[in-house]
Chain A
Amino acid sequence: MSKERLLTCIVCPRGCQMRVLLSDEGKVESVEGNFCKRGVTYANDECTNPKRTVTSTVRCKSGEVVSVKTDRTVPKGMMFEVMAEINGTVAEDNLKIGDVIIENVCNTGANVVATSNTK
């Protein structure tokens, strides 16, 4: 008996409503309603190991606030751990977009990088 799961794809603003059939072992058997193939990848990830990009801000030594993101997705269940590490960090000044602020955050393999330039 396969199980059905309804998903809203978050890969792009189109937000496709997808119907996913899962085997008893939780493996994706089929995906319907996706407009492009990225929907299938998303459905597979979402049903086995859901992931998200985390975006936030870090305070610099000067007191300035700089926006940051994880440069790849991290496990959805680890978002708050990643946030705790980001909030426990004080960054150097003079940052440029792409500068690494935290390497391999929480052992996720993702770096936290600046997404804005400091003044």
Chain B
Amino acid sequence: MKKDLVIIGGGPAGMAAAVAAYEAGVRDILILERDNALGGILRQCIHNGFGLHRFGEELTGPEYAYRYEKMVHELGIPYMLDTMVIEVSPDKVVTAMNRENGIFTIQAGAVILAMGCRERPKGALNIAGTRPAGIFTAGTAQKFVNMKGYMPGREVVILGSGDIGLIMARRMTLEGAKVKAVCELMPYSGGLARNIEQCLNDFNIPLRLSHTVVNIHGKDRLEGVTIARVDENRRPIKESEEYIPCDTLLLSCGLIPENELTKGAGIKLDRVTGGASVNGERETDIEGIFACGNVLHVHDLVDYVSEESAIAGRAAAKYIFGDSKKEISIALKTDGKVRYTVPQRLTEACDTSVYFRVADVYRDAKIVVRDGDRVIISKKKQRLAPAEMEKVELAKDVIESLSGGELTFSIEM
């Protein structure tokens, strides 16, 4: 089989990329989705707060996903469900499988990687103690409660203050569970300020900053956890240990872009983001293979996933029609306080939104962008935090005026 454009993943990133590519003139598109429906993780994110940027109104996750699903249907963009991609080759041969067709290959003109991310699992956390039932990642619990209608437990401790953990603290509470504490290893929250407010403070759920779980108790079912305060080197302080009885431990300890296929294709990854290294068009270091959404870097807001994926979709269309823009040899560097930038490289003649995250909480600071020694952007910020992705716009004429070499992104007090 041959296709002009194959998109791997039918979540918000894949659907937005497909719609943008179609609008840019590509007709021969195929979306490959592993699950039994389009929509990705939004299907289980039944809370509201999505779409304020993209649609100017507040939607729940399934409603946001349906807006895009409807566009895909109306444009007649083909997709295959229950279909698992097992390999992408550097020359854009996609190998996939499903129950109807067995294993099959597609020669693609261009490929967009939109596989999303996965939660950091229990095995990656090295917590001492037993391994009873009752320990779930927050996203797994979310799927049980919101899609299957099952409650995973009644007395809950949550480790990690990522947004999904906060959202689940509220959800479990509303369904009658008692959430006893949210423990966060870092001295600041890993989630958005609004979620601390409406998911924890609304229900008087304590947020224990600089705390972690040091022991798990129980044989068949979880009976309790020991938590402890950590010192500035994140080492638990023995004297501060505290036992909390509970039957459920939820883990919300970070998200990891799912790049097995990307690695298999030999695409260069960024060690900080865990996603591909891309240029302004979201093109990887293999021509014609693009990446967008949470597989590229973890986003806080789906609205920005849609925005980024549309860039990738339009760029893939240009590539297919043979009028790709050239990459220019200016490296985007960071000072360490800025942890990374996406894109990592620039493309000529296009306005570019550069997304990044910071390493720590900074107050009354400035985002400074320098071309060599020349300051080209300086933007004051009341507060910068690792949980909140930042964005700087580089206009086309600014990019054209660059002296070459390096562009440095830094945080200054």
B196 touches A57 (CB 8 A): no
Count A interface residues, CB 8 Å. 30
- Bound Cα distance A86, B202 (Å): 20
Chain B residues bordering chain A, tally (CB within 8 A): 30
Cβ of A68: which chain B residues have Cβ within 8 Å of it? 46
Q: Which residue in chain A gives the minimum CB-CB distance to B37?
A: A119
Chain A residues near B49 (CB-CB < 8 A): 13
| A-chain residues with CB within 8 Å of residue B146 when the two chains form the complex | 57, 65, 67
The residue on B at minimum CB distance from A80 is B174
Mark each residue of chain A from 51 to 66: 1 if its CB lies under 8 Å from any CB of chain B, else 0: 0111111010000010
Chain A proximity mask over B180-222: 1 for CB below 8 Å, otherwise 0: 0000000000001110111001100000000000000000000
* Contact call B46/A115, Cβ cutoff below 8 A: yes
Distance in angstroms from A114 CB to nearest chain B CB is: 9
Produce 1/0 per residue, A1-13, CB < 8 A to B.
0000001111111
Residues of B within 8 A of A53 (CB): 48, 58
A7 to B197, CA, bound (A): 8
Stretch at the interface among B60-68, B108-116, B307-315: B60-68
Known interface pairs A10-B197, A13-B300, A17-B193. Does A115 touch B147 (Cβ–Cβ under 8 Å)?
Answer: no
Q: Are A8 and B175 in contact (CB under 8 A)?
A: no
Do residues B193 and A97 form an inter-chain contact, with CB atoms below 8 A? no
Instruction: State whether A67 touches B60 (Cβ < 8 A).
Output: yes
Find the A residue at minimum CB distance from B44.
A67
A75 within 8 Å of B (CB atoms): no
Q: Which of A8, A56, A80 contacts B197 (CB 8 A)?
A: A8
A65 to B175, CA, bound (A): 14
Known: A57-B149, A67-B46, A67-B146. A115 touches B198 (CB 8 A): no
Question: Contact string, A65-91, partner B, CB cutoff 8 A, digits 1/0?
Answer: 101110000001001100100010000
Q: Is the CB of B301 within 8 A of A17?
A: no
A116 partner residues in chain B, CB cutoff 8 A: 43, 46, 62-63, 66
Contacts of B66 in A (CB 8 A): 97, 116-117
A83 engages B196 (CB within 8 Å): no
- Do A69 and B193 touch (CB < 8 A)? no
B52 within 8 A of A: yes
Task: Among B46, B149, B301, point to the contact of A13 (Cβ < 8 A).
Answer: B301
- Residue contact B192 to A13, C-beta cutoff 8 Å: yes
Give the secondary structure class of A's interface.
mixed
A109 is an interface residue with CB less than 8 A from chain B: no
CB <8 Å contact, A69 and B197: no
Q: Which residues of B contact A17 (CB under 8 A)?
A: 193, 382-383
The reply to whether A83 and B62 form a contact with Cβ atoms under 8 Å apart is: no
Q: Is A15 an interface residue (CB 8 A)?
A: yes
CB-CB contacts of B126-167 with A at 8 A, as 1s and 0s? 000000000000000000011111000000000000000000
B37 to chain A minimum Cβ distance, whole angstroms, is 8
Chain A CB within 8 A of B47 CB:
yes
CA of A110 to CA of B202, assembled, Å: 20
* Contact (Cβ within 8 A) A8 B48: no
Residues of chain B in range 35-78 having any CB-CB distance to chain A below 8 Å: 43, 46-49, 52, 58, 60, 62-63, 66
How many angstroms between the C-alpha atoms of A95 and B202 in the bound complex?
31
Residues on A with C-beta less than 8 A from B194 are 8-15
Set of chain A residues within 8 Å of B149, measured between Cβ atoms: 57, 59, 65
Contacts of A76 in B (CB 8 A): 202
Q: Which B residue's beta carbon lies closest to that of A46? A: B197
Contacts of B47 in A (CB 8 A): 55
Provide the bound-state CA to CA distance between A80 and B176, in Å: 9
| A13 and B390 alpha carbons, distance in the complex (Å) | 12
Shortest CB-to-CB span from A96 to chain B, Å, is 10
Q: Assess whether A56 is in contact with B174, with CB atoms less than 8 Å apart.
A: yes
Q: Output the residue of A8, A11, A17, A87 with the most chain B CB within 10 A.
A: A8
Which A residues are CB-close (under 8 A) to B63? 97, 115-116
Of listed A10, A12, A13, A79, residue having the most chain B CB within 10 A = A13
Which one of B60, B175, B383 contacts A69 once the chains associate, using CB atoms below 8 Å? B60
Chain A residues with Cβ under 8 A from B145's Cβ?
57
A12 touches B52 (CB 8 A): yes
**Contact status of A15 and B174, CB under 8 A, knowing A55-B47, A57-B146, A97-B63:** no
Across the interface, which residues of B come within 8 angstroms of A115, CB to CB? 46, 60, 62-63
Residue with the greatest number of chain A CB neighbours at <10 A, chosen from B49, B194, B301, B383: B194
Give chain B nearest CB distance to A47 CB in angstroms: 14
10 A–B contacts, CB within 8 A, in A order? A8-B193, A9-B194, A13-B49, A13-B300, A52-B202, A57-B145, A83-B175, A115-B62, A116-B46, A117-B66
Residues of B within 8 A of A (CB): 43, 46-49, 52, 58, 60, 62-63, 66, 145-149, 174-175, 192-194, 196-198, 201-202, 300-301, 382-383
